[in-house]
Structures are given as C-alpha cells and as structure tokens.
Structure 1
Amino acid sequence: MLVKVFPIKLKDGAQAAAEAVVREFAPKGPGAEPGTVSFRVYRDPAKPDYLLFVEHFADQAAYDEHTGSAAYRELIAGRFAETMTEFVEIDHELVVAL
C-alpha cells in the first residue's frame, strides 16, 4: 500500500474554486481507477484556503497511473494547480487501520 498526503495552501479566496475542481475530479480520476484504494480531501474550517489530500494506492504503479491520467492532467495539474500557492508531497507507511 502506498499512502500519499498533501497539505496544500491555496491562493487567498480560492477555496470554493479548488473544492469544485476536486469534486469534479474525484469520479473521473480516482473513482475510475482500480488501483486507487481511497481518495479523500479535507478542509480545515479554522484555516481558510487550505486543503489536505490523503490518498491510498495499491502500489507505485497505481499512483503513476493516477497521475498520468487525462483527468489528472486536465483537472489537478491544470485547473487545480492554478489555485495553489504551495504543497508538500509526503509518503507515509500504514501502521494500523480499522
């Protein structure tokens, strides 16, 4: 299992636009990818213009397929990227899950 976590700082006032892109992307990208185990995006009500992505993939090949898809290129690398000011990509290893 490959776990990716992305804390993402958005441009001021970009929260609604970023969330709209994520909602459009979810069924077209991760929702249609057999190797994507889970795709979750969280907002922090106390921290505007910020999103946290937590994603689980079967393996590195599934992640590569995810980031190489047409939906990802158009919506995440394209429109969503225009709403960001910075992001960090953090790999995690699962210890326990219920």
Structure 2
Amino acid sequence: MLTKVLSIPLKPGKQAEAEQLVRRFALLGPEQEPATLSFRVYRNATRPDYLLLIGNFADQDAYDTHTGSPAYRELVAGRLAALAVEVVETDHDMIISI
C-alpha cells in the first residue's frame, strides 16, 4: 500500500472554496477508483486556510491512475493548486492500523 500525505497551506480566504473542490473531486475521482483505498481531507481548527489530504492507494500504478484522471487534472492539479501557497507531498509507510 502507498500512502500519500499532502500538506496544503492555502491563500488567505480560500478555505471554503478549496473544501468545495475536494468534496467534488472525491465523488468524481477517488470514489470511482477501486484501487484508491481511502481518500481523506482534513481542516485544522486552529489554522485557517489549510488542508491536509491523506490518500491510500493499492500501489504506485493506482496512484498514477488517480493523478492522471481528468478530474484530478482539473480539480486538484488545476483549480486547487491555484488556491494553494504550496503543496508539500510526502510518502509514508503504515506501521499500524486499527
């Protein structure tokens, strides 16, 4: 399993718009992708204009399919990226899951 964690500080005042984009993307992208095992997006109650995305994928091919989809290109790489100050992506290996 491949886990991707994206830390996304947003431009000031863009939280609501960014949340709408990821909600829409979840339905058009990850929900339609059998090898996307989970897709979670978090907001931070004490840090405005910030999102944390965590996705679990069956393998690298699944992630490549996910990021190559038209929905990803339009909504994440396109519109969400335009709202971000930066996007920091890191890979993680799971140690434990309950």
- TM-score normalised according to structure 2 size: 0.98
- In structure 1, what is the Cα distance between the partners aligned to 2:82 and 2:59? 28
2:25 alignment partner AA: F
**Secondary structure, counterpart of 1:74 in structure 2:** helix
Question: Once the 2 structures are TM-superposed, how far is the Cα of residue 79 of structure 1 from its aligned partner?
Answer: 1.0
Counterpart residue number, 1:13: 13
Match of 1:60 in 2: 60
Give the ranges of 4+ consecutive aligned residues of structure 1 lying more than 4 Å apart after TM superposition: none
- Unaligned 5+ runs, structure 1: none
User: Sequence identity of aligned pairs in percent?
Assistant: 58
Give the drift of 1:78. 1.1
Structure 2 portions without partners, runs of 5+? none
Residue pair 2:10, 2:50 contacting (<8 A) in 1 also: yes
Which deviates further from its counterpart, 10-19 or 74-83?
74-83
Contact residue 81 and residue 87 of structure 2 kept, 8 A: no
Partner of 1:2: 2
Which residue matches 1:71?
71
- Give the aligned length: 98
1:30-69: CA deviations, max 9, x gaps? 0000110000000001000000001100000000000000
Give the letter for the 2:63 counterpart: Y
Q: What amino acid is aligned across from residue 11 of structure 2 in structure 1?
A: K
2:54 and 2:36 mapped to 1: Cα distance? 11
Matched position secondary structure for 1:16: helix
Q: Offset of 1:87 from its aligned partner?
A: 1.6
2:91 match: 91
Q: Distance in 2 between matches of 1:83 and 1:58?
A: 29
